[in-house]
């Protein structure tokens, strides 16, 4: 079956930056080739800039965003550790599941979906947690939470773990400035690359407290680190790095930094506001709480009497536009529209607004 060219305006993947796509066609190199290792080093340096960190341990993990979540808990949770998880959507729920599998005593702080995380409730959930985990940009609801405020309020002994899968390179992220210890992202959203890598960063404080021999070989950061930064012993093989994807991420990051991180954030903000304003002008109701809406992922309630699945199907098959269904209990009552990375442009917003208007009138 032949692939088709779609406009990917769902919750991810998004259409990659052209530079990222072009890099996939570059000659393949061995994962220990010095030229490739130079590209890897530059990719890690570029990731540090985008994360806002000087963390030496900043690297792309092999696997999708969930691998970042898995590595975040596997390398820092010991059985019985208290992990407070702020849950305001599907990915906070997933954190509870993953942390529990590594033996954490999970203290779950539930919020109404569509609302941001309440810092006070999360801080008061436990006096001495080992880790406090939170999703920066909840893709299931389109809500942004205030990581800086949370990190400042948690006990200084706790590690702050932030899911930045849908935020990195879309809205400002400042790992060092905010005091985040462990953070991960995914390449298929605002970074504008195919799915398959999870940019990851660890503070020196968290590194000191890592599990020496985590119960996963593949995601053991000690072993992966020996390949990525080598140290004095030189680079050693751990697993075959996905070289083409790393080259693609390298190219997308180059594009992002050339445009300028502030300009990239402003482009996402302008496109998201344009879409959200347009949807409201059409008489539709936005789902995420006002003042906490993500520009890169908009959630909108399906109007009464409209068959949400049919609209998505017609958008896809007749207009080549993908948007997402709602998540969880909102599967048929909410649509999720992404304007991420290369798609964070006014003309993409206008395209989906005009097409949707025709389908629901
Ligand atoms: N966290 C958030 C906030 C996400 O949006 C996603 C994916 O949509 C994930 C984690 C999991 O990432 P992946 O599906 O790439 O494994």
Gap from CA of 234 to ligand 1 centroid (Å)? 33
Ligand 1 atom nearest the C-alpha of 12 is: 8
Q: Among 231-240, 256-265, 266-275, 302-311, name the one with the lowest average pLDDT.
A: 231-240
Give DSSP secondary structure letters for 51-66: HT---SEEEEEES-HH
Ligand 1: which of 10, 64, 65, 92 to mutate, judged by most atoms within 8 Å of the beta carbon?
Answer: 65
Confidence bin at 175 (pLDDT 50/70/90): very high
Output the six-digit token pair for 278: 């347009």
CA of 65 to the centre of ligand 1 (A): 5
Bridge partners of residue 202, in order along the sequence: 57, 182
Q: Is the pLDDT of residue 357 over 90?
A: yes
73 Cβ below 6 A of ligand 1: no
Q: Using alpha carbons only, give the angle 111, 293, 67 rounded to the nearest 5 degrees.
A: 70
User: What is the distance in A from the centroid of ligand 1 to the CA of 165?
Assistant: 6
Tens digit of each residue's pLDDT (9 = 90 or more) over 271-315: 999 999 999 999 999 999 999 999 999 999 999 999 999 999 999
Residue written as token pair 């001495």: 128
Q: Which helix (H) or strand (E) holds 336?
A: strand 334-338
In this predicted structure, what is the pLDDT of residue 247? 98
Two structure tokens written together for 308: 């949400």
Question: 272 CA to middle of ligand 1, Å?
Answer: 20
> What per-residue confidence (pLDDT) applies to 232?
61
165 lines ligand 1 (CB under 6 A): yes
As given in the structure block, the two tokens for residue 178 are 């905010």
Q: Answer whether 93 contacts ligand 1 (Cβ < 6 A).
A: no
Q: Give me the chain's average pLDDT, please.
A: 97
Choosing from 71, 136, 139 the residue with most ligand 1 atoms within 8 A of its CB, the one to mutate for a pocket test is 139
Nearest ligand 1 atom to the CA of 139 is 5
Give me Rg for the CA atoms of the chain.
20
pLDDT of residue 227: 83
pLDDT at position 201 is: 98
pLDDT over threshold 70, residue 231: no
Q: With bands split at pLDDT 50, 70 and 90, how would you rate the model's confidence at 233?
A: low
What DSSP string describes 220-258?
-HHHHHHHHT-GGG----SS---HHHHHHHHHHHHHHHH
Query: Which has the higher per-residue pLDDT, 233 or 169?
Result: 169
Residue 211 to residue 230: CA distance in whole angstroms: 20
As a whole number, mean pLDDT of residues 168-172 equals 98
Does 70 contact ligand 1 (Cβ within 6 A)? Answer: no
Calculate how far, in angstroms, residue 12's C-alpha sits from the geometric centre of ligand 1.
9
Distances (CA, A) of 156 to 134, 176, 335: 16, 14, 39
């Amino acid at each position: 079956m032949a692939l088709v060219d779609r406009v990917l305006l769902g919750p991810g993947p998004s259409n990659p930056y052209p530079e990222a796509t072009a890099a996939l066609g570059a000659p393949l190199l061995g994962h220990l080739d010095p030229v490739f290792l130079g590209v890897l080093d530059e990719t890690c340096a570029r990731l540090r800039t985008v994360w806002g960190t000087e963390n030496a341990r900043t690297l792309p993990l092999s696997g999708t965003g969930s691998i970042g979540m898995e590595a975040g808990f596997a390398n820092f949770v010991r059985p019985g550790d208290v992990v407070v998880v702020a849950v305001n959507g599907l990915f906070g729920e997933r954190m509870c599941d993953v942390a529990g599998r590594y033996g954490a005593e999970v203290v779950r702080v539930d919020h109404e979906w569509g609302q941001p995380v309440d810092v006070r409730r999360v801080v008061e959930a436990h006096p001495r947690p080992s880790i406090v985990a939170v999703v920066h940009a909840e893709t299931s609801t389109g809500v942004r939470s205030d990581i800086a405020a949370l990190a400042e309020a948690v006990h200084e002994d706790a590690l702050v773990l932030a899911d930045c899968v849908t935020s990195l390179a879309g809205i400002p992220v400042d790992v060092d400035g905010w005091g985040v210890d462990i953070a991960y992202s995914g390449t298929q959203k605002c970074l504008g690359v195919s799915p398959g890598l999870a940019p990851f960063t660890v503070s020196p404080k968290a590194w000191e407290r890592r599990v020496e021999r985590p119960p996963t070989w593949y995601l053991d950061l000690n072993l992966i680190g020996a390949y990525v930064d080598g140290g004095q012993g030189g680079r050693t093989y751990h697993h075959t790095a996905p070289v083409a994807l790393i080259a693609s991420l390298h190219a997308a990051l180059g594009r992002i930094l050339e445009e300028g991180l502030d300009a990239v954030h402003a482009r996402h903000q302008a496109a998201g506001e344009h879409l959200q304003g347009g949807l409201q002008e059409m008489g539709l109701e936005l789902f995420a709480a006002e003042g906490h809406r993500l520009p890169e992922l908009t959630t909108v309630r399906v109007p009464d009497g409209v068959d949400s699945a049919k609209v998505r199907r017609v958008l896809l098959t007749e207009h080549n536009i993908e948007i997402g269904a709602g998540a969880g209990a909102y599967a048929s009552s909410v649509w999720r529209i992404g304007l991420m990375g290369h798609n964070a442009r006014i003309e993409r917003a206008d395209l989906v607004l005009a097409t949707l208007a025709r389908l629901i009138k």
